[in-house]
Each structure stands twice: as C-alpha cells, then as structure tokens.
Amino acid sequence: MQKQPTTLAIDTSCDETSASVVEGVRVLSNIQPSQMEYHKKYGGVVPSLAKLAHTERIDNVVTEALKQAQKTIDDVDYISVTYGPGLAIALEVGINKAKELAKEFNKPIMIINHMEGHLLSSFAERNSMLEVNGHGRSVQCVEVANKCPSIGVLISGGHTEFVLVKQIGEYEKIGETLDDSCGECLDKCGRMLGLGYPAGPIISEFSKKQRKKVKIEKVKDNQSTLLRLSSGTESYELPIPMANSNDLNMSYSGLKTAFKQLVDKIAEDKKVKKVKDGKLEANIETFDLEKEEIMNLCVLLEATAYEQIAIKLKNALRKYSVKEVWLGGGVVASSRLRSVVRSTVKSFDESIEVRYPYSKKLTTDNAAMIGVAANINMLQLQKLQISLSPENKATLGEHGIFIDSSDFSEIDRDPSLELPVYV
C-alpha cells in the first residue's frame, strides 16, 4: 500500500481554534477548544473576539495536536489550512500560523476550502487507512471514488446547500438556501424562546424529550403545505417554505418570521385570557410561555426545518442517480436530522447509503476534516506524479492549491469564497 500522507491541519474559519494531525483519513488528534464563553453573552460570534481568542490559543493548540498524535513537526509531510469561506480576520490567524510553520520548518502548504472539509468529513476514521487506485488521470481514493456520484447535504449555521459530487474536485451546487441558513434559523428562533446561544442543541434536546407526547401531521392550506402539531387541546401550525417549488432551493427567513408570529400569538392569547380572568393587569407588555409550550414549539420548529430538507432531498434523488448521500456541517450533530435524512433516502431507494461523521466534534468547524480533505487531494497529486515544487504548483480546481513555503502569494484568504463548482 502506498505511504499515507501526514498533514498538520489548521482551521480558524469562525470561532473554533482547531489543529489536527491526520494520516490518510485517520484522525490522530483533533484539538478544538471552544470559544463559547467569549460569545455567549452577545448572542452570536463577535469577529474581533474570535480573532483575539485564535491569536491567544493557536500556538498551544498546534503544540497539543502534535503531542496527542505522538508526532513531531518533522513527521509531518505538509501543512494544510482553511482559506475560506469564513470570517476574514479569523481566517488570517490560521493562515499566518501555517505560513510561519512552513517557513520555519520548510514545509509546503495545501490550502483547503472549508466547505470541502465539511463535504468530506464523513470519510474521517479513527483507525483506517486510505487506499488509492490508478486509472490514467482520473485517480481517486478507492473509498471515495467508489461512492461517486453522490449528493452532499451541508447544513450549518452559515450554509444550507446540496452539492452533486461527480468525483473529488468535481462539485456542482444544485440547491441552496436563498436567505438564512437552517442553523441560523434555529438559533434565532430559539432566542425568541429565551433559550440563549447557541439555541440549536437545546431545541434538539427539548424536541427529543417532547416528540412522543405530541402529534405532527402534514396538511395542505390553499397553495401552502404546513406542519400541524397537536397536544391536548392545543394546536399549532407552521408553513414549510418552498415545499411546492420544483427547484432544489430552500428558504428559512420565512419560517423564522412565521415562527415569531406564532410565538407572539400564543403569548398574546395567554395574556388576553389572564386579563379576562382577572389574573393579570392589562398594561403588562410581556408574558412568558410555559415550559410545555416552549418544548412543543421546539418540536414543531425542528420538524418544519428538517421537513423542507427532506422534501428537497427527495427531489434531488429523483433528478440525479447517486450511490450515497454525505452529510456535513454543525446541524448534522442533530440525531433527528440524521434520522430524517436516512428515512427520506430509504423511502426512495434502500440501496443508497447515508454517511455522516463518526463524531459530533467533526460536524462543527474543525481541523480534522481539513486534514482529511487535504490528504484525499494529496493522494491525487502523488498518483498524477506532480512534484511539490514552486515551479509545479498543482491546482486542484480552486480548493487544493499546493505551494512551496517560499511563495505565499496565492494564499491570501477570500472570505466570500464558496464551495468550488465544476460543471
């Protein structure tokens, strides 16, 4: 078997300072201390605070990644680093650290698109080795190549999109949110319920506890498709955005608005009843929901958000013949989302496999997925017999550019970068 490349990977795309050592697709270490306490009181990520935390932590995180992997920098073949998309001032901390290491230890750098990292995160393994297979200039990793074509479903706080994977490096975005991401919608709706930041995991937890106590059904209302939740004498409804459109695009801004209107109506109805019963003064402006109501709303919100994904995924499966569906991104940590996707795929074709990262830590922003993506691309370079020298800078589309440590002109971060599309 061909020697497996070993990379020291770095990701500082948002609010996770992460470094990882990856051999083939085997994750030897993955250090990702949380910045949650920095941002929690602000209800979201503050870019300047994220950069400060990255700057304070990056050296120790890299050192710890090597230590846990029981490797030295000399054991590393090259450095891999996220160059976008992400927060510009956060990205530059990781990129500058990669430059520093490359110059000091004479290591090349491969720059990786953050979204390709999420796309390939499900191929990360604790104890497996990557194999390669040669077929002219169409060499891929056996494990990955045999699974293509596939559909990538990337669901996070910043992205919600479907990607057709023809082969590694051949990606076509076939559907995306037209406004808010699924994760952003969940967090902002959770804030309306007073769940704090990030609200997504709390919504998932409440929904899991409450789901069996309620009934949810899909109903038609004129031109709209809705989900209705029934619990005792209470009944709530939310529309499924774009459920009847023929394309693969999604929308979460409308769901967020509808959810706010529903929450306001429930609170107002409760207030009116309390005032009528003489239990509340009419001039009180707000009225908190009861825990049972909050949990019911979490069930309905999560179900509606994921039902839109299920509808669009089934449309994609009808349009494209694929072998697998790959899940990536922070919202994939939700067991409910994974279950919905599995059920959707199984109902369409039981032979299509659904894969997702082996650990929740690999669904969030992390360096391990960057290392996996880099090594998969690295093996392509090796089989194509492209040398790792400045005069032979190998460009794999826009995502995997391999450069010598003496020339960093191509590694300026582009925060608006999206997943490369090759059609």
**Lowest mean pLDDT across 3-12, 36-45, 268-277, 388-397:** 388-397
* Residues 7 and 75: beta-carbon distance below 8 Å: no
DSSP state of 2: P
Among residues of the chain, what percentage have pLDDT more than 90?
A: 56
Helices then strands, counting H and E runs in the chain, come out as 11, 17
**Best CATH choice for the domain 182-355 from the list 3.20.20.70, 1.10.240.10, 3.40.50.970, 3.30.420.40:** 3.30.420.40
State yes or no: pLDDT of 321 exceeds 60.
yes
Where does the pLDDT of residue 403 fall: very low under 50, low under 70, confident under 90, or very high at 90 and above? low
Q: Quick one: pLDDT at residue 2?
A: 60
| Residue 236 tokens, joined | 């709530």
When pLDDT is averaged across residues 22-40 and rounded to a whole number, the result is: 81
Q: Quick one: pLDDT at residue 334?
A: 94
Q: Quick one: pLDDT at residue 233?
A: 82
Q: Which residues face 111 on adjacent strands?
A: 81, 401
When pLDDT is averaged across residues 126-153 and rounded to a whole number, the result is: 59
* Residues 326 and 150: beta-carbon distance below 8 Å: yes
pTM of the predicted structure, to 2 decimals: 0.84
Mean pLDDT, all residues of the chain: 82
| Residue 241 tokens, joined | 């955005």
What is the domain partition of the chain in residue ranges? 6-126+360-403, 182-355
Neighbours of 369 (CB within 10 A): 34
Q: Quick one: pLDDT at residue 389?
A: 40
Question: With 0-12 CB in 10 A as exposed, 13-18 as middle and 19+ as buried, what is 99?
Answer: middle
CA 163-164-169 angle, 5° bins: 90
Maximum average pLDDT range among 34-38, 139-143, 361-365: 361-365
DSSP 277-314: TTSS-TT----PPPHHHHHHHHHHHHHHHHHHHHHHHH
Where does the pLDDT of residue 219 fall: very low under 50, low under 70, confident under 90, or very high at 90 and above? very high
Cα–Cα dist 245/183, whole Å: 22
CATH annotation of 6-126+360-403: 3.30.420.40
* Residues 50 and 68: beta-carbon distance below 8 Å: no
State yes or no: pLDDT of 393 exceeds 70.
no
DSSP state of 243: T
Where does the pLDDT of residue 179 fall: very low under 50, low under 70, confident under 90, or very high at 90 and above? very high
The reply to whether 182-355 shares the fold of 6-126+360-403 is yes
Q: Quick one: pLDDT at residue 76?
A: 96
* Residues 389 and 404: beta-carbon distance below 8 Å: yes
Handedness of CA 414, 124, 423, 152 (dihedral sign): negative
**Lowest mean pLDDT across 111-115, 144-148, 218-222, 246-250:** 144-148
**Lowest mean pLDDT across 151-160, 215-224, 407-416:** 407-416
Q: Quick one: pLDDT at residue 182?
A: 96
Where does the pLDDT of residue 152 fall: very low under 50, low under 70, confident under 90, or very high at 90 and above? very high
Cα–Cα dist 46/86, whole Å: 13
* Residues present in the chain in total: 423
Residues 324-381 pLDDT 10s? 999 999 999 999 999 999 999 999 999 999 999 999 999 998 999 999 999 988 876 6
Alpha helices by DSSP H, 12-166: 36-39, 47-69, 88-105, 114-120, 142-145
State yes or no: pLDDT of 320 exceeds 80.
yes
* Cβ partners under 8 Å of residue 192, min gap 6: 259, 260, 263
Residues 275-298 pLDDT 10s? 445 554 444 444 578 889 999 999
Task: Look at strands 224-231 and 109-113 and give their pairing.
Answer: unpaired
Q: Which amino acid belongs to residue 230?
A: S
> For the sheet containing 170-176, what is the strand order?
170-176, 160-167, 150-155, 324-328, 353-355
When pLDDT is averaged across residues 50-72 and rounded to a whole number, the result is: 91
Where does the pLDDT of residue 176 fall: very low under 50, low under 70, confident under 90, or very high at 90 and above? very high
Q: Quick one: pLDDT at residue 134?
A: 41
Where does the pLDDT of residue 143 fall: very low under 50, low under 70, confident under 90, or very high at 90 and above? low
| Residue 57 tokens, joined | 């932590």
